[in-house]
Structure 1
Amino acid sequence: MAPKRVLKVGLDSAAPFPMHSDYNSEKFEGFEVDLLSEIAKHLDFEIHYEVSLWKTILEKLFKGELDLICSAVTVTSSRKHILEFTEPYLHFRLCAVVPAEGALDELKDFKNKTIGVRTATEAERHVHTKFPDNNMFHADTNKELYRKLQAGKIDMLVDDSPIAGGFLQNNSKLKIGMFLPNTDSHYAIAMKKGDLELRKQFNTGLKMLKENGIYDAIYAKWFSGIQF
């Protein structure tokens, strides 16, 4: 019997739960963990996870040090030039998180606010583009970002809605103030440019999970009560 093909899968060290938890924690789990496990089972692959700082992870994939990344990677036109993407597996929006007693109803309320973002994310790029005059705080990890907001060091943070939802499930001191207009986005599995056969196989696996109800069951398990 031929050995299974081993795939090196890149993970964000800052654990964007509920997409996935910290790989080094007692229990490694999450929506993407379950999704990848089911796809690997169907395709007869073996998964080896490798943890990286987010600001270097796409470069590692581009260089061929990883086979794929399944870690809340937003599909963008610029990334499509240098990477392959599967069909999307999750739709989301960017949102602004504020203290629970804070008010944020429209974009003009962003004026003079200090905004927190994670380094090298689409949220960071969006804030730079839309709010160039605001003070910004850049963090390498989600925990640092949310901690700064809770401590009152920043006025708000901008994050992907599923990740914000995961943080807010156990945090009554913060809330989503608003979803940012025209920020509809998708996560997909990213692969090396030209890795068309692997992309095709993963698309087949994703399609099968959506057809047989497994995708819906995983979705319900991880996103119950989370606003997108």
Structure 2
Amino acid sequence: MPSNIINRRFALTAAALLTALAIAGCGKQDAATPAASASAPPPPAAARVLVVGTDAAYTPFESQNDKGDIVGFDIDVVKAVAQKAGLEVKFVNTPWEGIFNSLDQGDRDLLVSAITITDERRQTMDFSQPYFDAKQLIAVKSDSPVARFEDIKNLKVGVQNGTTGDEVVGKLLGKSSTAIKRFESTPLALKELEAGGVQAVVADNGVVVHYLANNAAGGFKTVSDASFPVEKYGIAVKKGNAELLARINQGLEAIRTDGTYARIYASHFGTEPKQAGK
């Protein structure tokens, strides 16, 4: 074969190879384009739902309705606060005896359960600004001679275990006194009073008043005492969670300012709050 024909064929073959390589190179570049876009920052993750622990056995603050939903004054307050603060929350029924541990262990992000702010509790958790004023109240049978706190000193007294009612009665009767009967909830203690198992119950006024109003046949009366200090309820968060605490306080201030708090209070207690929970 003449050399000029060989050279021509070689040139054509080389040109074809170069064209194929060029096409292949273009294909690799095109395939790399999606990979480049895949390295772009992912869209922001959805906000985490905060788990709110509450002992739903404390009407009218928190309880479960016929459908099993957790409802009450505290629940409505936290829902309103969360909306103002841009938080998403869900409520989980949590027994009182383990409620503080659930916060410390991280199983709950915050707690709302008619929790009185005390110096002792402040050592292990942080509290929002107060949202409700409360006071201890004594419940006795209507024919009881009890007229003041000191009068229950020689009686069998029911309290909810681990509450401030438990604390004040423990100081009067002695913490280990066998005359103190401790219950899982205040309504259980009040039922025991109705049955005659105890002669008095000491608990937060909101719960006692609500129970008596809905159990008129029980034949109860209430007794107040000047020695009972005003207690303030707060929303609890894990110790040191300053960011969440600030957002909760922001939400609380917002619902006080725009009248939402007053409307929630009136819907549960029938009156306007005297100090809007401050």
Q: Could you state the TM-score of these two structures normalised by the residue count of structure 2?
A: 0.76
Residue of structure 1 equivalent to 2:203: 159
The question of 1:21 aligning with 2:67 is answered no
Residue of structure 1 equivalent to 2:114: 72
Q: 2:165 touches 2:203 (CA, 8 Å); kept in 1?
A: yes
Residue of structure 2 equivalent to 1:125: 167
AA at the equivalent of 1:11: T
**Structure 2 matches for 1:88-167, cutoff 5 A?**
88-132=130-174, 135-167=179-211
Residue of structure 2 equivalent to 1:12: 55
Q: Aligned partners of 2:70 and 2:267: how far apart in 1?
A: 15
For residues 24-55 of structure 1, give each alpha carbon's deviation from its aligned partner in whole angstroms, at most 9, with x where no partner exists: 75553211111111111122222122222111
Q: Aligned partners of 1:153 and 1:182: how far apart in 2?
A: 25
Q: 2:48 touches 2:88 (CA, 8 Å); kept in 1?
A: yes
Q: Aligned partners of 2:67 and 2:207: how far apart in 1?
A: 18
Q: Aligned partners of 1:59 and 1:221: how far apart in 2?
A: 32
AA at the equivalent of 2:117: V
Greater fraction helix: 2
The question of 1:62 aligning with 2:108 is answered no
Greater fraction strand: 1
**Structure 2 matches for 1:185-224, cutoff 5 A?**
185-224=231-270
Deviation at 1:180, TM superposition (A): 5.6
Which of 87, 90, 93 aligns to 1:51? It is 93
AA at the equivalent of 1:82: T
Residue of structure 1 equivalent to 2:128: 86
Deviation at 1:73, TM superposition (A): 0.8
The question of 1:183 aligning with 2:229 is answered yes
Q: Aligned partners of 2:226 and 2:97: how far apart in 1?
A: 23
Q: 1:103 touches 1:177 (CA, 8 Å); kept in 2?
A: no
What is the CA RMSD across the aligned residues, in angstroms?
Answer: 2.2
Q: Aligned partners of 1:179 and 1:25: how far apart in 2?
A: 38
Q: Aligned partners of 1:175 and 1:71: how far apart in 2?
A: 25
The question of 1:40 aligning with 2:82 is answered yes
For residues 32-89 of structure 1, give each alpha carbon's deviation from its aligned partner in whole angstroms, at most 9, with x where no partner exists: 1111111111222221222221111101111211100011111000110110100000
Larger radius of gyration: 2
Q: Aligned partners of 2:213 and 2:263: how far apart in 1?
A: 20
SS in 2 for 1:65: coil
Q: 2:130 touches 2:232 (CA, 8 Å); kept in 1?
A: yes
AA at the equivalent of 1:140: E
AA at the equivalent of 1:144: L
Q: Could you state the TM-score of these two structures normalised by the residue count of structure 1?
A: 0.92
Aligned residues: 227
Deviation at 1:112, TM superposition (A): 1.3
Q: Aligned partners of 1:24 and 1:78: how far apart in 2?
A: 36
